[in-house]
């Protein structure tokens, strides 16, 4: 069935998750740069789309360069960039930015406040999550602030197994304040739309490749983009089996992507 799907519809654009697909931590995954070269030689348009919220776009480009991956600003869309764009569109200027110090530069034009914010913006802050901060954010939400989350990933792979990710804290705040967060990174439809616009391709001409069944594969499929799951990074067979999301294709790693796309 997957064969027919791929043969029947031409792929012109490829959206690529980074963490868990091209690298895990500082370790480049085997065959990743070569796969990208083959897509490029075949004339496919591509763009990195990432929920990583611990680095700014600029520092992520540096990281890609150090790992030997092509790094161009126009080929990268990050959750913090998408969030800043969303806040501007909504006219929200005063935010409690509960995000990593490193990504604050992606929020130029947003006034960072810790009192009476219009929105509480949450990203990965790792060890800084603790009761006092969560309680403070909860009280601001109860006072009417919007909750904006860069993503709601359940867990991530750091190289020594799965670890709790931002989605847990989003769920905590949603439950306590009895509200729903606006998600601005993957799997938000607006995020995928911005990525397609960058590539200049339609949803049915694109594929999304990632290791997160919900944010990458399910999110893409929800807007008509084919979703390809890689068995690297946070992929776990038992978790994939439990999920309701059915990828359009599963490949053992991004090294197998050119063959899947026939290039």
Binding residues for its own copies, rule: CB under 8 A, are 126-132, 134-135, 138-139, 142, 154-155, 161-165, 167-178, 239, 242
CB of 130 to its own copies, least distance (A): 4
Distance from C-alpha of 245 to C-alpha of 210, rounded to nearest angstrom: 13
Q: Indicate left, alpha or beta for 167 from its phi (over 0: left) and psi (-120 to 50: alpha).
A: alpha
99-127 burial, b at 16+ Cβ within 10 Å, e below that, comes to bbebbeebbeebeeeeeebbbbbbbbbee
For its own copies, the closer of residues 51 and 81 by Cβ is 51
For its own copies, the closer of residues 158 and 252 by Cβ is 158
CB of 129 to its own copies, least distance (A): 4
CB of 2 to its own copies, least distance (A): 26
- What Cα–Cα distance (Å) separates residue 75 from each residue in 155, 195, 248? 25, 9, 24
And the tokens for 41?
């030689």
For its own copies, the closer of residues 89 and 130 by Cβ is 130
CB of 259 to its own copies, least distance (A): 32
Distance from C-alpha of 249 to C-alpha of 243, rounded to nearest angstrom: 15
For its own copies, the closer of residues 43 and 132 by Cβ is 132
For its own copies, the closer of residues 116 and 193 by Cβ is 116
Looking from the CA of 151 toward its CB, the CA atoms found within 13 Å total 29
CB of 134 to its own copies, least distance (A): 6
């Amino acid at each position: 069935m997957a064969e027919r799907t791929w043969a029947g519809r031409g792929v012109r654009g490829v959206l690529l998750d980074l963490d868990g697909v091209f690298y895990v931590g500082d370790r480049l995954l085997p065959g990743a740069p070569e796969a990208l070269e083959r897509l490029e030689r075949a004339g496919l348009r591509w763009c990195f789309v990432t929920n990583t919220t611990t680095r700014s776009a600029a520092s992520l480009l540096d990281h890609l360069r150090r790992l030997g991956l092509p790094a161009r600003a126009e080929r990268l869309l990050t959750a913090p960039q998408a969030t800043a764009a969303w806040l501007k569109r909504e006219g929200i200027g005063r935010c409690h930015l509960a995000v990593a110090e490193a990504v604050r530069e992606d929020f130029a034009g947003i006034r960072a406040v810790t009192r009476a914010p219009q929105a509480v913006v949450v990203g990965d802050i790792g060890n800084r999550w603790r009761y006092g901060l969560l309680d403070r954010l909860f009280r601001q939400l109860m006072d009417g602030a919007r909750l904006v989350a860069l993503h709601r990933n359940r867990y991530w792979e750091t190289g020594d197994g799965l670890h709790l990710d931002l989605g847990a804290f989003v769920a905590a705040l949603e439950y306590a304040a009895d509200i729903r967060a606006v998600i601005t990174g993957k799997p938000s439809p607006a995020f995928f739309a911005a990525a397609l616009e960058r590539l200049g391709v339609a949803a049915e001409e694109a594929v999304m490749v990632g290791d997160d069944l919900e944010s990458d594969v399910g999110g893409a499929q929800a807007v008509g983009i084919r979703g390809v799951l890689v068995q690297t990074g946070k992929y776990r067979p038992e978790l994939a089996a439990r999920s309701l999301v059915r990828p359009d294709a599963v490949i053992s790693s991004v090294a197998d992507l050119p063959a899947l796309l026939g290039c």
